[in-house]
């Protein structure tokens, strides 16, 4: 059987995929290094990718130094920290939460949505109510540091997302385990000082994250509105399904966004992807996007290929 290679012209036999690919974990940004260490601790002991990615990004959610995810995340323009997250397992099952407040680990709540409800996504007060039903504790997520920065912002209230803000953003993590299973997780506090109720790409299946049980996984970071308009993670995995390498697929995903933006490139997007062979790819619009990669227990930070200029 041949992959059709519709978008890329590539033709590879679907059954040429290795049955014994080595595990690999990819995460967005430098905070991904710590998330990868945690995820690797699970995968190296024959653990499941779904448990690895949940545990990995929980580490980032609980880190008050990361100002774009979970605790310590920048609030919206009303001073509220609102969180978005989604998760997908090796079967392509999915769970998501959005516009969630007062819950430290949105990724674990997204997993509960996936496993314990007939739904894929819960938002706002409904998601928070479900969290308490499942035993999650109410937690203040606005740290003193984030509150001070917000009060400073209020003096001008200028809203302009900044490329590579503080060099980090959402954490997206994708993994292939020793059982040849993919999973992925994506979690964020979204854009600093966004409008109340704004939801970005991170909890949207196919935008911030997509996992195809047979072919691979991709996740996104950066200005979510741009990713949503091209359903970037789904696009990348679909291109891999049609025969593109993860690198080719990530580059095409970025090109699609640049075209859609008519080359007004005052934003950053980064994509990372892995395939069934344990190969990976990463691309971004601008310089500054790094990703963490773990193979054979070695954790490294690498620069993504830059597509603008
Ligand atoms: N990529 C995160 C967001 O736009 O909310």
Is 170 tagged catalytic? yes
Among candidates 148, 160, 159, 62, which has minimal Cα distance to 107? 62
What contacts 62, CB < 8 A, 6 or more positions away?
70, 71, 104, 105
Position 128 scores a pLDDT of 98
Residue 214 near residue 276 (C-beta atoms within 8 A): yes
pTM (2 decimals)?
A: 0.92
| Probe residue for ligand 1, chosen from 223, 226, 270 as the CB with the greatest number of ligand atoms within 8 Å | 223
How many residues in total does the chain contain? 309
**Distances in whole angstroms, Cα of residue 261 to Cα of each of 218, 229, 237, 301:** 21, 10, 21, 29
**Residue of 74, 187, 222 best suited for mutating to test ligand 1, as the one with most atoms within 8 Å of CB:** 222
Orientation angle between helical segments 49-61 and 32-43, nearest 10 degrees? 150
Cα separation, 227 vs 161, in Å, equals 15
Pairwise CA distance, residues 44 & 53, whole Å: 13
Atom of ligand 1 nearest to the CA of 221: 1
CA of 194 to the centre of ligand 1 (A): 10
C-alpha 137 – ligand 1 centre gap (Å): 25
Which architecture, in CATH terms, is 30-306?
Answer: 4-Layer Sandwich (3.60)
pLDDT at 25: 98
Q: Say if ligand 1 is within 6 A of residue 221 CB.
A: yes
| pLDDT value of residue 158 | 78
Q: What's the CA-to-centroid distance between 131 and ligand 1, angstroms?
A: 22
223 Cβ inside 6 Å of ligand 1: yes
Reference 21, options 297, 295, 276, 294; nearest CA is: 276
Round to whole Å and give the CA distance between 101 and 124: 7
- Residue having the nearest C-alpha atom to atom 4 of ligand 1: 224
Is residue 180 in contact with ligand 1, taking CB distance under 6 Å? no
What does the alpha-carbon distance between residue 268 and residue 309 come to, in Å, rounded to a whole number?
13
Q: How remote is the CA of residue 8 from the centroid of ligand 1, in Å?
A: 28
Q: Which residues contact 154 (CB under 8 A, 6 or more apart)?
A: none
> Residue 232: CB within 6 Å of ligand 1?
no
The model's pLDDT over 226-265, given as tens digits with 9 standing for 90+, comes to 999 999 999 999 999 999 999 999 999 999 999 999 879 9
Give me ligand 1 centre to Cα 9, in Å: 32
Write down the pLDDT at residue 20: 78
Task: For residues 251 and 283, give the distance between their C-alpha atoms in angstroms, rounded to a whole number.
Answer: 6
pLDDT by 10-residue block (mean), the chain, 309 residues: 37 48 96 98 98 98 95 96 98 98 98 98 98 98 97 86 66 97 97 95 98 97 95 98 97 96 91 97 96 97 94
| Residue 108, pLDDT score | 98
Indicate the domain borders of the chain: 30-306
Residues 145, 64 contacting (CB under 8 angstroms): yes
How crowded is residue 125: how many other Cβ atoms within 10 Å of its Cβ?
11
What does the alpha-carbon distance between residue 298 and residue 277 come to, in Å, rounded to a whole number?
18
């Amino acid at each position: 059987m041949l992959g059709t290679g519709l978008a890329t012209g590539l033709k590879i036999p679907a059954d040429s995929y290795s049955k014994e690919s080595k595990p690999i974990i990819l995460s967005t940004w430098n905070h991904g290094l710590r998330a990868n260490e945690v995820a690797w601790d699970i995968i190296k002991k024959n653990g499941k990718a779904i448990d690895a990615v949940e545990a990995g990004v929980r580490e980032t959610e609980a880190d008050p130094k990361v100002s774009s995810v979970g605790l310590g995340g920048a609030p919206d323009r009303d001073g509220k920290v609102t969180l978005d997250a989604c998760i997908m397992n090796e079967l392509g099952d999915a769970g998501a939460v959005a516009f969630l407040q007062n819950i430290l680990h949105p990724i674990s709540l997204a997993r509960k949505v996936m496993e314990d409800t007939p739904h894929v996504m819960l938002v706002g007060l409904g998601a928070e109510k479900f969290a308490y039903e499942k035993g999650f504790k109410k937690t203040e997520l606005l740290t003193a540091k984030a509150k001070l920065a917000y009060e400073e912002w209020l003096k001008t209230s200028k809203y302009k997302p900044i490329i590579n803000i503080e060099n980090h953003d959402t954490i997206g993590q994708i993994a292939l385990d020793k059982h040849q299973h993919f999973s992925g997780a994506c979690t964020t506090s979204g854009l600093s000082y966004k409008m109340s109720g704004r939801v970005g790409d991170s909890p949207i299946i196919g935008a911030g994250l997509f996992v195809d049980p047979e072919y691979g996984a991709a996740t996104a970071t950066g200005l979510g509105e741009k990713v949503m308009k091209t359903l970037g993670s789904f696009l990348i995995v679909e291109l891999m399904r049609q025969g593109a390498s993860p690198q080719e697929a990530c580059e095409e995903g970025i090109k699609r966004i640049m075209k859609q933006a008519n080359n007004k490139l005052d934003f950053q997007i980064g994509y990372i992807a892995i395939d069934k062979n344990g190969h990976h790819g990463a691309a971004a619009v601008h310089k500054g996007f790094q990703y963490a990669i773990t193979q054979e227990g070695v954790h490294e930070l690498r620069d993504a290929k830059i597509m603008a200029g």
